[in-house]
Amino acid sequence: MKIVHIQQYFNEKMGYQENIFPYYQKKLGHDVVLITSTRSNGFNNDPRVKKEGEFIENGFKVKRINIFNEFKDRFVVFKKLYEYLEAEKPDYIYHHGVNSPSLRTASIYKKNNPNVFLAVDNHSDLNIAARNKLWKVFYYNLLWKNIIAKYDKYIDLYFGVTPARCVFLEEELGINREKIRLLPIGADVDNVKASISKKEFLEKYNIDRNCLLITHGGKITPEKQNDRIIEAFLRLKDRNVRLIIFGLIKDKRVQELIKNDDRIIFLGWLNREDTLTVLKYSDVGIWNTQHTTLLEDCVAVGLPMILRYYGSTCHLIDDTGLFLYDGSIREIQDKLQLIINNDNILNQFKDKAHNIRDLLSYENIAKESIKYYYSTDYNDIHKKFMSIVYSDENYKNFRVMDRS
């Protein structure tokens, strides 16, 4: 089967869905091409403007094509996208994102080639994409809701990449619930090799092998309330505990707090291989606010997690960690202390990690994406994680967490 992905921005050698998901579809024996723009997001000072042309990423072909213009970090306006689709002759178009002009192009191609399967995924939820109410109403509820309605008849399925993003499709963009499926961001199980041994890792950072390692990482900004994790950690009295922090800090308070305790180890920005090494050798990961793809990396390495419960994390713990519900310093402290005081709890979580890892592996998600080509009936992932057991849509902070 020929599968063409359409992606607005592409950042090479990163751990995002668009870097990994096509690899697993190709691994299943399909011919996979990703069409993207001559733009990246410019992470870690990488130049944003790229050359037009082709290259290989994780074994699949990427084609960068020119653009007319862009709404920076939201979407681009491609040049000649329709012509590229005609040249590729896809059986299956996987369009990343519901709010970009290329959705119109893909829909017109589907109209003219009705045997093509057109799927569109959604990465927006109220917690990260629509915090401003006026913006939400204008951009999502009016502009894109009406654009999508015009082309909806050409779209076979909409994939939410978390339960909350399935709900967003229905409640904010007016999509019929019967056309929405959960096809989550996955765990890259094939590529979780550590760059060094655990012994070398501990020696490199002068960590005693008897220490409990708590890890947290990503883009550290004031709105993510990362300082609460550090303040909770500072209240812990156990000297055989270390807090490993990695990523880019854009919060002066956090920069000051990490200087207050020699048990805190700050590693700075890490490449993907080193990030996976940290996660693999840690004992527990903690993220107290919004979803990050690091959480799926934790699933891939079998790392127990402490996560804030809401609609974009509710499917990532299945007897493999603990949820935070108010995200207060006290609650974080209590959950960390619970783990410190109970030696066996992490082992119990790790013993069950393979179940959720296998279900949320990108290989399994790639298989489900292909199953939907043949039948749009609900598959296992959707049936399990969209149930009330995991996705409690009546919970007050399911859609938007309380950051107070």
Confidence of residue 131 (pLDDT cuts 50, 70, 90): confident
Band of residue 288 on the pLDDT scale cut at 50, 70, 90? very high
Contact 219, 254 (CB under 8 A): no
Encoding tokens for residue 393? 């849509």
Reference 98, options 43, 137, 143; nearest CA is 143
pLDDT single digits (tens) 176-212: 999 999 999 999 999 988 889 999 999 999 999 999 9
Contacts of 92 by beta carbon, 8 Å cutoff, 6+ apart: 1, 2, 3, 4, 116, 117, 119, 373
Q: What is the mean pLDDT of residues 363-376?
A: 99
What number does CATH give the domain 191-359? Answer: 3.40.50.2000
* Residues 210, 240 contacting (CB under 8 angstroms): yes
pLDDT the model gives residue 344: 94
**342: which residues sit within 8 A by CB, 6+ positions away?**
none
pLDDT at 118 over 90: yes
Domains 2-186+361-385 and 191-359 share a fold: yes
Tell me the pLDDT band of 401, cut-offs 50, 70 and 90: confident
What is the residue whose two structure tokens read 């994790």? Answer: 229
Residue of 404 and 347 predicted with greater confidence? 347
Alpha carbon 117 to its chain centroid, in Å, reads 24
pLDDT at 329 over 80: yes
Nearest to 15 by CA among 190, 220, 268, 216: 190
pLDDT given for residue 2 in this prediction:
99
The pLDDT mean for the chain works out to: 96
Q: Give the domain ranges of the chain.
A: 2-186+361-385, 191-359
Report the percent of the chain where pLDDT is more than 70: 100
Superfamily of domain 2-186+361-385: Glycogen Phosphorylase B; (3.40.50.2000)
Q: Give CA angle at 102 (97, 107), nearest 5°.
A: 95
pLDDT of residue 294: 96
Q: What φ, ψ does residue 187 adopt, rounded to 5°?
A: -100, 125
Top-ranked range on mean pLDDT: pick from 47-51, 270-274, 372-376: 372-376
Q: Do 124 and 99 touch, CB atoms closer than 8 A?
A: yes
Whether the per-residue pLDDT at 132 is higher than 90: the answer is no
Structure-derived torsion over alpha carbons of residues 56, 61, 67, 71, reported in degrees to the nearest 10: -80
How many percent of the chain have pLDDT more than 90?
A: 92
Amino acid at 364: N
